[in-house]
A and B are shown apart, each in its own frame.
Chain A
Amino acid sequence: MSTEIQDASDTVVELIDVQKHFGELHVLKDINLSVARGEVVVVIGPSGSGKSTLCRTINRLEPIDSGQILVGGQALPAEGKQLAMLRAEVGMVFQSFNLFAHKTILDNVTLGPIKVRKTPTEQARAEAFELLDRVGIRNQADKLPAQLSGGQQQRAAIARALAMHPKLMLFDEPTSALDPEMINEVLDVMTDLAQSGMTMLVVTHEMGFARRVANRLIFMSDGEILERATPNEFFTNPQTDRAKDFLAKILQH
């Protein structure tokens, strides 16, 4: 079953022959990938395989050496106002939450809409409360990030990204920095989001989530995409030795 063929107008993000080096290290090799509207693509792979870098190139937190990245059919501009406008269309959730430490949860969520989208303050606040309600932390709105648990902070970070009404949400190992008992509350929010039709690219080590939620699974190793499959195909019948090896290691316990 191939999901690679899509109507071009329905493609939210497309990477064409993307190459990137960190010095000598070739971290992204000939990456070709497209994500369709409403699709949930999960990227898995061993540490250092380039999956986080892949995620970060899509809103140009990492520049690329060559190739093309199209978001909504439009090439990523270089630094400047246009790039900022494009980033506003792409929500990003980080491993370490990165909530603005000196602002309350509510201000974290309303800052983008007010300053970038020029949404009136009252409307931005109302929407923020709705989003905080949706991720289950409405009662934490007036607190500072440091006063929240890791799971609550990550849910706030998801609300902050959603407040921009993004076309696409990028998740860069969103649960890797969390205590085990807080992982599920974040994955639940992400599952709800996927079910609501949000286009998502998720880098994660959570195989259960990948199996349940992903439409498509990408396996990366040493900067290359080695497998593209449905979760079921991948977990039951991996094609490459690297993938078999990876699955053997993580599914042992």
Chain B
Amino acid sequence: METLTQYWEFVTQKKPDGTLLYDVLGAFWVNIQLTLWAGAVAMVLGTIILAMRISPIVSLRAVATFFTNIFRDIPLTVVMLIMWLVIWTQLGVSFGGKMSTDFYILAIIGLGLYHASFIAEALRSGVNTVPLGQAEAARAIGLTFMQSARMIVLPQAFRGAIAPIGNTIIALIKNTTVASVMGVATETSAVMSGMIETGANFVLLIFLTFAIGYVLIVIPVGMFFTWASRILAVKR
């Protein structure tokens, strides 16, 4: 009990300017924001990659397959290091303003690229749930490839891919902690490392704090995707 009280004091200690030294809740909020942004990038990019992958044009298919294999096969940490050391340091890509803003945006792009390959694969499994006859019927009434993809195949593929998309999003939530590699210092794993450095005697409680935090975020997300995949399944 005493340990818990001491831990509480440790966690809630303030800086001279009155703000929290270790902003745990704020750190989780950073990861949630990274998830939302990177998730949006991954969904849009993943859908484009998927559309290229199922297109009748051979070169588009090749590019999409190449992209998927590259980003699915490189470890996320390496992707993030490339964003930092190559894109930012070497190529000097900047979005103006502060360095922390650059890091934040590059982290989102890195996370988005990496997870887009998984979203594309999840969607491809969704496409496989759509019988070939659906696309044939769409073509038979005179819809172009893009129209039949947009109106017939992809809507059904999305609905058939909700469970695997959910798995990818859950992985993304946790993978946002790798943003610390890209220099995002305010997110959970960076804050956790900082806390362990000064509060080594609380190490178990610090781990527990972040572990429980992620469990509390992920459980409802998982329940939502399970529910949605059931409700939205296309009846055949």
Q: Judge whether A87 and B141 touch: CB under 8 Å.
A: yes
Asked if A100 is at the interface of the complex by the 8 Å CB criterion, the answer is yes
Q: Judge whether A116 and B235 touch: CB under 8 Å.
A: no
- Interface residues in A59-84 by Cβ distance below 8 A to B read 59, 61, 79-81, 84
Q: Judge whether B142 and A85 touch: CB under 8 Å.
A: yes
Interface segment, one of B21-29, B75-83, B101-109, B147-155: B147-155
Cβ-neighbour of B137 out of A85, A99, A147 (below 8 A): A99
- Interface residues in A86-108 by Cβ distance below 8 A to B read 86-92, 94, 96-102
Q: Judge whether A98 and B144 touch: CB under 8 Å.
A: no
Q: How many A-B pairs with Cβ below 8 Å?
A: 76
With both beta carbons as reference points, the residue of chain B lying nearest to A112 in the complex is identified as B141
Asked if B100 is at the interface of the complex by the 8 Å CB criterion, the answer is no
Query: Which B residues touch A86, using CB under 8 A?
Result: 142
- Known A-B contacts A85-B142, A112-B141, A160-B141; the reply to A94 vs B151 at CB < 8 A is no
Asked if B56 is at the interface of the complex by the 8 Å CB criterion, the answer is yes
- Interface residues in B151-166 by Cβ distance below 8 A to A read 151-152, 155-156, 159
- Known A-B contacts A96-B133, A100-B134, A115-B151; the reply to A87 vs B140 at CB < 8 A is yes
**How far, in angstroms, from A189 to B159 measured CA to CA in the complex?**
34
- Known A-B contacts A79-B56, A115-B151; the reply to A102 vs B139 at CB < 8 A is no
Asked if B143 is at the interface of the complex by the 8 Å CB criterion, the answer is yes
Asked if A126 is at the interface of the complex by the 8 Å CB criterion, the answer is no
- Known A-B contacts A79-B56, A146-B236; the reply to A101 vs B134 at CB < 8 A is yes
Asked if B138 is at the interface of the complex by the 8 Å CB criterion, the answer is yes
Shortest CB–CB separation between residue B154 and chain A, in angstroms? 10
Cβ-neighbour of B136 out of A61, A101, A102, A144 (below 8 A): A61
Q: Judge whether B143 and A115 touch: CB under 8 Å.
A: yes
- The 8 lowest CB-CB distance pairs between A and B, nearest first, are A88-B142, A112-B141, A98-B133, A98-B137, A146-B235, A92-B140, A116-B142, A87-B142
Chain B: residues with CB nearer than 8 A to chain A?
A: 56, 131, 133-134, 136-145, 147, 151-152, 155-156, 159, 234-236
Chain A: residues with CB nearer than 8 A to chain B?
A: 59, 61, 79-81, 84-92, 94, 96-102, 111-112, 115-116, 144, 146-147, 157, 160-161, 164
